[in-house]
Structure 1
Amino acid sequence: MKDFLLIFRSSATGPSTASPEEMQASMQRWMDWIGGIAAQNKLIDRGNRLNAGGKVVGAGQVITDGPYMELKEAVGGYTLIRAESLEEAAEMSKGCPILLVGGNVEVREIGTM
């Protein structure tokens, strides 16, 4: 088994206008999807949602505000899973609720040093 990072990206269009009921339904879809991975004993860490603000450290150790929301996509969160291959991890990602709202999931194998 290998470890993979799932990075959730979505449109950086600003705050949601979803009703409390829609937000609850969305949260339930996320819990169901994560629960399905956990039931297969392939969940390493459910991860967390990321706040929009932050800092970027660049070349020469220059620190700037960012990431900037004028980008087309923003990283919204992550999850760590275990799978036999990159292909299996990508297949598991097909059930991610972010796909229902036009987002995407970047699947990356976690290498060892």
Structure 2
Amino acid sequence: MDEYLILMRLDLITKEAQPSPEQMQIYMKMYQDWVGGIAAQNKFVGGTGLSTEGKVIKSGQIITDGPFAETKESIAGFITIKAKNFEEAATIAKECPILRGEGNSVEVRKIVGTDNTR
């Protein structure tokens, strides 16, 4: 089996798009159940959420604050899974609970080694 990254994108900026604390509890339970189902199939490798703060390093050793989300679609987190192929990875990804939110999306990318052995 290969490993795939599922990137979760949603609006982290617009105040109206942010869930209430009660909604957040419901969403987190749905997310935990989804990940638990993947783990039960022995296909969950790992994952985490991401803050909206960070640093961007560019060529020439230039370091700036950021990344600054200029769009409503920000990467909120990711998980890594094991799957037979892209189709299986996409089938798992399409059940991600964040897709229930308007404008949210997930992206599936195969993880490849720098030495092309994966």
Q: Could you tell me how far apart the structure 2 residues matched to 1:60 and 1:72 are?
A: 29
Determine what percentage of the aligned residue pairs are the same residue. Answer: 46
Structure 2 unaligned residues grouped into runs of 5+: none
Q: Is residue 4 from structure 1 mapped to residue 1 from structure 2 by the alignment?
A: no
CA RMSD of aligned residues (A): 1.5
Question: What is residue 39 of structure 1 aligned with on the other side?
Answer: 40
In structure 2, the residue corresponding to 1:48 is in which secondary structure? strand
- How far did 1:97 drift? 1.0
Alignment-derived partner of residue 19 in structure 1? 20
Q: CA deviation at 1:20?
A: 2.5
Residue identity in the other structure for 1:22: Q
Alignment TM-score, normalising by the size of structure 1: 0.90
Match of 1:98 in 2: 98
What is the alpha-carbon distance in structure 2 between the residues aligned to residue 3 and residue 38 of structure 1?
A: 14
> Amino acid of the residue matched to residue 58 of structure 1?
K
Q: 1:43 deviation in Å?
A: 0.4
Q: Which runs of 5+ in 1 are unaligned?
A: none
User: CA 1:34–1:68 in 2, change beyond 3 Å: closer, same or farther?
Assistant: same
The normalised TM-score by structure 2 is: 0.87
Aligned length, in residue pairs: 112
